[in-house]
Structure 1
Amino acid sequence: MWLTIATPPIRSLDKLDQVMGAAVPDGLRARYACQDGDEFRVIAVWESKDHADRFFRDVLGPVLARVLGPEPAGAPAMTGMEVLREFIPAVAG
């Protein structure tokens, strides 16, 4: 598994929703939108680094160019790392 933490050049949740859309990218397991002051963070869990790389290259790049212009102010800063262990607590039934 691969985890990405991105800081997109977006200043509103509506614009973030417009950029991210409703489609589920191939290999995406979970995505979380967070806000830290006036900056958004998007944390995503992917099946693999290759899935994440393809999404950022083939999907997100062209969408950002279309929505924000060919050179959006401040390209998204992104950190990626391998998930070493996943823990999902059991739901009490």
Structure 2
Amino acid sequence: MWLTIATPPTRSLDQLDQMMAAVDPEGLRARYACQAEGEFRIIAVWESKEHADRFFREVLGPVLARVLGPEPAGAPTTTGMEVLREFTPVTAG
């Protein structure tokens, strides 16, 4: 499993919603939109690093261009890391 934290070049929550709704990436397990220090962050959990790499390499650019215009203000910054353990809550029942 692979986790990415990306800072997209979006300026509004509406743009972020459009970007998130524009694609359902292969290998994506979960995606969370957050805000930190006045900037949006997208935290995503992927089946593998390869799925994340393919999305950032082949899919994200056209999505950004469609939502933000052909020359968005800056490129997204991304940090990726391997998930070593996954802890899920135990449900009673």
Aligned pairs, number: 93
Percent identity over the alignment is 81
CA deviation profile, 1:7-62 (whole Å, cap 9, x unmatched):
00112211101012164211001101001142100000000011001111221111
Q: Distance in 1 between matches of 2:91 and 2:25?
A: 27
Is contact 1:27–1:47 with CA below 8 Å preserved after alignment? yes
1:48 paired residue number: 48
TM-score (norm. length: structure 2): 0.90
Alignment of 1:1-93 (within 5 A): 1-21=1-21, 23-93=23-93
CA RMSD for the aligned pairs? 1.4
Misfit runs of 4+, over 4 Å: none
Please tell me the residue identity of whatever aligns with 1:6: A
Is contact 1:34–1:40 with CA below 8 Å preserved after alignment? yes
Is contact 1:10–1:16 with CA below 8 Å preserved after alignment? yes
Q: Could you say what secondary structure the match of 2:32 adopts?
A: strand
Residues 66-75 or 30-39, more deviating? 66-75
Q: Distance in 2 between matches of 1:24 and 1:73?
A: 23
Q: Which stretches in structure 1 are left out of the alignment for 5+ residues? A: none
